[in-house]
Amino acid sequence: MASYVVIVELPKRMQNADVAFLCTWSFLYYRYRPGAAVFSVILLLRNVALVIVPIIPGGAVKVLLIILVLCVSILVTSFMLPWRILECNYMEAFLLAGMAVLISMGSLFMEDVDVDSVMQLCLALFIAIILLILGVFLRGFTKYLRAKHRKPFQYFLCHQKSGAGAFARLLKCELTRMNAVKGKVFVDCDDLQDLTKLFGYVGIDTEHLIILGTKDILTRKWCMGEVTTGRLHKVKTVVVALPDYEPPSETLVQEYQVHVPDVMELAAHGISLAAVQETLRWMRELPTIELLGTLDSKLIRAVCKELVVMHVSPGSMGKNGVQLSNEAEDELHEETRMVNRKAQYNGSKVAILVDYKNMEAVATALVLQLMVTPLLISSGGMVPYIMTANEEAMPTVQIIVVLCSQGCFANPDIARVLVSSAARSLTVLPIIAEDGFRIPTKDFYDEVLVTAGTTSMPAKPSHLAAVIKQVFQEIAVGFNPQGNSASVQDLEVGAKTIAFRLLGGKLRPMCLEDYQPTSPEELEADSLGLLPPASKSTDADAQMIG
């Protein structure tokens, strides 16, 4: 009955918040820490075993079984640490160990011993020990041989979280989707539980080390420790240089301890300052993939193809590397590009609005699109697309997903799309994409009313303040691949929440009554009847909205 209550009923009753049930049966588990209630069943089984063993015939068998029960109990207590007070776990392990020693010493004075039975038991235990040793040896040797031909991690993404956390997640998503990538792609949020194993993963378990070059990666001790370990173990390495990356200068190399005083902490892992300085010089000669222009899905796929080429044919890029950009598409005539976009996304009901000047925000938008699409693909037209610069929402769009990053509302393109979307009474869902983002306060709106008129903002200050307020009338959803705890499980939960909100149909529309369409896209939407007719409200009314 106790086993049934603890294993079957307790989880269900806790989920349903059945306080009466929990209080009734609390005598079974209140002594143990949360999550360790099952130890009450283990304790009962141990007590039953200790009661039954003495009635078994044969003195040697009794002693062996009692010691076996005590040893198993010691292991369970040591691994689970079930007692609510930590010292109780140490006390129980010590007491059980003492009992096992006393019974072992007492067995030396037994007189009615069946020598043949004891010899058979000893022989069986000896064979089991030998087989265990051989099994561990064979497993380790097999793992060694497998690592020589194919290591667990095909790619290791070395990156600075605040500068390329979202880009690293996007790169992992795209790499794992490619048929040529057979191994794992290492990202610390997903694959690192013990920091002491970090450099072992780089030096022993990695085939290719990818350095995501950002402005501050050279001054991060753990990143430089990873790169140094890769160099010392001759791991094939390439630099993916983001726009703000600069190769290490000789001045930085010579004065590295001044710029990064905590680099000396790497000495505990066998990495000296001289080794880091040598690594910085070595990084200048590495193959480099330079990213130019605005990040988009085509550019990230091109990066993945280059990395796969490096895997298939090492050194194919040469020392100077390659440059990748989307300038070819940018050089298309604006009208032609817009026609292509409308043909591709016409019919979409959801658009993602992101600050295209912020590469991390764009990477977050691409990750969100990849993770939400499988959840929405069965719902016609709900798969979101990412809006580009100087682009209005398609006429069929009903929901605007606003990706909130630092300074995004200072972008004139963001302001224009928000105001025009409010005029169309589109619904909105805000997504918090950075830990540093703060929901606007009264001071922010006051600043918008004062400064927006003197800047290049395309809308009236009162219009913009009113629309931004309406954006945050909806409860925002957190989706931050850049965060410290942004594991794939956390992001999947966020994606499911966003998909549920998009399909729920309970998002509130934005409203702006006295707006007049000005851009060609807005005029087209107005001609299709997607914009509300202008009213006779005054600027004073708009200020009241603000």
Helices and strands in the chain: count of H runs, count of E runs? 24, 11
Query: Hey, is 323 helix, strand or coil?
Result: strand
Spatial neighbors of 356 by CB under 8 A, at least 6 apart, are: 294, 362, 388, 389, 413
d(CA 360, CA 381): 27
Q: Cβ atoms within 10 A of the Cβ of 31, count?
A: 17
d(CA 539, CA 64): 91
So what's the pLDDT on residue 531? 42
Helix axes 442-451, 461-471, angle to 10 degrees: 150
Q: CA torsion sign, 179 to 181 to 186 to 187?
A: negative
So what's the pLDDT on residue 545? 32
Write out the E strands in 214-309: 236-241, 288-292
Cα 477 to Cα 173, 368, 382, 434, 469, distances in angstroms: 21, 12, 18, 11, 16
Element (H, E) at 432: strand 427-432
d(CA 351, CA 417): 11
pLDDT tens for the chain, residues 1 to 546? 889 998 888 888 888 778 888 888 888 888 898 888 899 999 999 999 989 988 887 777 788 889 989 999 999 999 999 998 889 999 999 999 999 999 888 888 877 677 777 788 788 889 999 999 999 999 988 877 876 777 889 999 999 888 888 999 999 999 998 888 888 999 988 888 888 888 888 988 898 999 999 988 999 999 999 999 999 999 999 999 998 898 999 999 999 999 989 888 888 888 999 999 999 999 999 988 988 878 888 888 888 988 888 765 544 454 556 777 665 555 555 666 666 777 777 788 899 999 888 899 999 999 999 999 999 888 878 889 898 877 888 888 899 999 998 888 888 888 888 888 888 889 999 999 888 788 877 777 777 666 655 555 555 677 778 888 888 888 888 898 877 667 888 899 989 999 998 988 788 888 876 445 444 544 444 444 444 444 333 343 333 333
Helix axes 412-423, 520-527, angle to 10 degrees: 10
> Cβ(157)–Cβ(151) under 8 Å?
no
Query: Hey, is 31 helix, strand or coil?
Result: coil
pTM reported for the whole predicted model: 0.72
Which strand ranges, in their side-by-side order, compose the sheet holding 322-325? 184-186, 153-158, 206-213, 236-241, 288-292, 322-325
So what's the pLDDT on residue 65? 87
DSSP annotation string for 236-254: EEEEEE-TT--PPPHHHHH
Which strand ranges, in their side-by-side order, compose the sheet holding 477-478? 385-386, 350-353, 399-404, 427-432, 477-478
> Cβ(31)–Cβ(84) under 8 Å?
yes
> Cβ(417)–Cβ(514) under 8 Å?
no
| Rounded (5°) CA angle 57-63-66 | 105
Write out the E strands in 165-251: 184-186, 206-213, 236-241
Write out the E strands in 142-297: 153-158, 184-186, 206-213, 236-241, 288-292
d(CA 492, CA 372): 9
Structure token pair of residue 543:
């200020």
Structure token pair of residue 455:
């800047």
So what's the pLDDT on residue 329? 52
